[in-house]
Each structure stands twice: as structure tokens, then as C-alpha cells.
Amino acid sequence: MRHHSLPRPAVVHNGIIENYQELREELARAGCVFASDTDTEVLAHLIGLGLAGHGDLGRAVASALSRAEGSYAVAVVSLDNPGVVYGARKLSPLVLGVGQGENFLASDIPAFLPYTREVVFLEDGEMARIDAGSWQVFTVAGLAPVEKKPVRIAWDIQAAQKGGFKHFMLKEIFEQPRVIADCLAGRVDASRGLATLRELDDFPVPERLTIVACGTSYHSGLWGMQLLESWAKIPTRVEIASEFRYRDPILGPGDVALAISQSGETADTLAGMRLARERGAKVIGLCNVVGSTVSRDADRVIYTQAGPEISVASTKAMCSQLTLLLLLALHFGHKKGLAGEREAAVPLAGLQDLPALLEAALPGMRQRAKELARVYSEARSFLYLGRGLNYPLALEGALKLKEISYIHAEGYAAGEMKHGPIALVDPKFPTFALAPDDELYPKVKSNLQEVQARGGKIIALTNPGMDLRVDHVWEAPRAFGPLNTFLMLPALQLFAYEMADYLGKDVDQPRNLAKSVTVE
């Protein structure tokens, strides 16, 4: 800010001030000179004007925010009194960390996890004042004090460190056996064939379910839909939240929306939840971050308990979402009298064996991923193919590859190939196929023959003993039915990881991406 007569507040801002043009014109008329075109600078000038008038930063922040339309999480400090920081939020996350002789403001808990586990969750319309030794919360409108209690977060400091791994992503991939075990703890009685989700004890079985999510969480939803339909016989649809929020969906009192979100702060998912509620649906949140907006806005919340996911590319969060979606399908199936003890016993016993099976497989998988990454590192484009439960995995494999290695990749339902994408296949356009030993294997095999007939190279992720003749067979251990997913998913993640690492990309913080997408 370059207006010499005004004090100089510094502002950190996440979000979008929608009426910033209008405010900018007004400020320019008042003599403010702008150094950028950003909406954040408008906020800084607005606060500066207030501060120049009465000298009270808290009042200046509150009055500036009362004029700002849109979404924001802000932290504001003034050069006159740099030991005091004000923070406020609206439709964008902001948490306060209470330390010993130090306090923090951040949009996500992991940012201050190495220093404190005491967290105060701020609500829209609230404003915090912190200095090193104290903190208070007020309303933005009227600056009335608000009583708040810090919550102790179970995550520990190690969880926010790399623990000897080169990247958080790799660490988080290798945490998946523990994540599955944690999701199952206290929720499975394999001897009685029961999956118990206490969070939903007295929650009625939905007549119809609408899953709303983005990105990887959306892929989890597509996978979960198949089990919810076949095991619990609940008509289920899966919606990309940014599309759903602007449609005119038909929802009513018998409907339940299931919002899936690792962060619990994704703006589109939150808007989807609100729309579903307005239309009369109940909302269940499936999320990882305790105290997040999804968890607070939902009628019921199921925590995935995966621990903090730091890498922008989501890995262990998806594993935890899939585990809980499977339990959810068994839980509702059981409530409807569908999943009897015998039917549920097999997946439940298999689930309990999964952590050890995956733990043993991961080092070999990483080695194979590394070898293949070197072979395919020059590919400019990849096709991922799968059918049934492996179709969402094909989408996820492609998303992982593109987001961290910047190689174009497309996930496709293998049977759709012949309706267009097959025209792309040539020796320089490799295919990554998901071809486990399931009822759709013969179909996938014949889709792969079509690729080979056009000179396309293939990596096929399959199980031992299958009769595939492709360029590179990658064998994952066998598990029961849908549980194969839990062995295929880390292979996809590791392949993307090794490609990106080999190509020297910034694995944990890929360009143009944010961990929580808190704006639409």
C-alpha cells in the first residue's frame, strides 16, 4: 500500500472478495494508490483507512470485513504493533492454535502441529485476536466476546513430519496398512459378521443416497456406490460437487446426502451439502479433519481417522474413505436384513487380514513402480483403463499421475474405449490397465487385445497366475473381491510417485494446486 499518510497493515488472505472492484473504486476516490490488482490489497487499504481514523486495529478489521462480500480467511497485523495479530473467517477455514507463550493462526491444523495440539475452531462471523501470551475471540459484528474452549487434537508431531521418508506422499502411502487397521478398530466384529458404525446407530437407512465430493474423494464415492447398491441395495448416485451445487436436484425427506472430504473444507462440497439440506435431505459427512466445516455442518459425521494428510496428492485419505464406505455398505445392509452373518463374515475377515497383507506387499510394489517409472518416463500421455470397481481406480490412477508428474493421463471405463479413445492408441501412447482376477477379467483382457492390435504398450496390474501377455505385467497379491482395490490403489499411487520423483517434480506441492480447495 502506498498512501503515505496511512498506517501500514499487512494482510494475509485466502478466498475471494467478490465486491472488490466496487470497494477499489471507492478507495481510489479516497486517495488510495494500488500496487496490484488483487482483492487482498483492497482489504489492506480498507483496514488502513479505518486504522488511520481511530487507531484500533481490531475495529478496523471488523469494519472492513463487514463491507467485504465473498469468502475469506484473513490474518492482519499492523506495523505499529506487530506482536498482535487479528484473524477472521467466512466460508474459508481458519483455526487458532494455542501454544505455550505462542499462539497461531492457520487454515489447517498440520501447519502448527509441531508446536501445539490445542486448537480453537473459529466459526464464520468470528474474529480472533492473538499475541504471544493470550488469545480472545469476538464477533465481527459488534466485537462482543465469544466463549471458546480449545480442543485437544489426537494427531501427534511425528504425524506432521516425514519420518525418514523422502516425501510426505511416500510416507502417507506407506501408512495405509495402519490406516486400514485404525478404521476397523472398534467397528468390526468378524465372528458375528457385524460392521458397527456407532456414529449412525439411530440413523435410519437412507431410501436413496446422493454422494457429493470432489477429486479423489469423488473417486472414492464412485467406488462406494457400487457396494452400497449391491450389498445394501440403496439406490445411490455420485455427484461432482461443483456440478451438483448448480443443478436443480430432486431430493426430499427420504434422501440422504453423503459428503466425502478429506479436509472437510472443500468449498464446492460444502455448498453441495447445503443445497441437499435445503431440499430436505439429511447429511452425513465422511471426513478426516476433526472439527472441520463438513464435520460441523453434517447431521452425522464419520471420521476417517487417517491422521493428517500433508501431501497435496491424496493417498491414505482415499484408503480410509474406501474402508469406511465398505463398512457403511455392510452396516446399512445389515440394518436392512440383507447382509447376513455369512455374507459379511468373508469381507470382514478379509479386511482384518488386509493391513498385514498390504504391509508385506508395499516394499516390492515400490520397487516395481520404480522400474516401470524408468521405462515409461518419456511418455507424454497415458491411458488408464478399468471396469467395475476398477473404473474409479483408473480415474484415480490418472489423476495421481497428472497432478504430480504433469504427464497427461486419462482414466476411462475399459468398455468405452471403442467409442472414441481407441483412435489415440499408438506405440507412444501407453495404457495402464487394471486387470485383477474378477468376473470382468475376460472383458478387460479382450479390451487390452484391442489396444495391442493398434501397437499400444501396456502395463497390466493383475494377480499372480493370470494369462495376460502384455509388455509389463505387475502382480499384486490376491484378496477377497472388492478388497483387491486396497492392493491396486497403492500400486497406482506408487507408480505416479516414482514417475514424478524420477522427473524431478515437486511431489508434495505440485504447481497450481492447494491441499484444501476452499474457493469455488
Which residues form the interface with ligand M6R (CB under 6 A)? 214-217, 261-263, 266, 269, 312-314, 399, 403, 513, 516-517
Measured from the CB atom, is 424 or 517 closer to ligand M6R? Answer: 517
Measured from the CB atom, is 71 or 216 closer to ligand M6R? Answer: 216
Measured from the CB atom, is 267 or 348 closer to ligand M6R? Answer: 267
Terminal C-alpha separation, the chain: 28
In degrees, rounded to 5, the angle at the alpha carbon of residue 424 between the alpha carbons of residues 420 and 429 is: 140
Q: Which helix (H) or strand (E) holds 329?
A: helix 316-335
Burial of 68 (0-12, 13-18, 19+ CB in 10 A): buried
- Is the Cβ–Cβ distance between 151 and 325 less than 8 Å? no
CB of 214 to ligand M6R, least distance (A): 4
- Measured distance CA(231)–CA(424) in Å, rounded: 37
CB of 227 to ligand M6R, least distance (A): 19
Measured from the CB atom, is 103 or 217 closer to ligand M6R? Answer: 217
CB of 392 to ligand M6R, least distance (A): 13
Burial of 36 (0-12, 13-18, 19+ CB in 10 A): exposed
Measured from the CB atom, is 108 or 118 closer to ligand M6R? Answer: 108
CB of 332 to ligand M6R, least distance (A): 22
Residue of closest CB approach to ligand M6R: 215
Give the full edge-to-edge strand order of the sheet including 103-106.
103-106, 95-98, 118-121, 151-152
Measured from the CB atom, is 314 or 323 closer to ligand M6R? Answer: 314
- Measured distance CA(228)–CA(234) in Å, rounded: 6
CB of 351 to ligand M6R, least distance (A): 22
Q: What's the grid cell of residue 33?
A: 494508490
CB of 175 to ligand M6R, least distance (A): 15
Measured from the CB atom, is 9 or 264 closer to ligand M6R? Answer: 264
Q: Which residue has the cell 459425521?
A: 301
- Measured distance CA(273)–CA(416) in Å, rounded: 31
CB of 505 to ligand M6R, least distance (A): 14
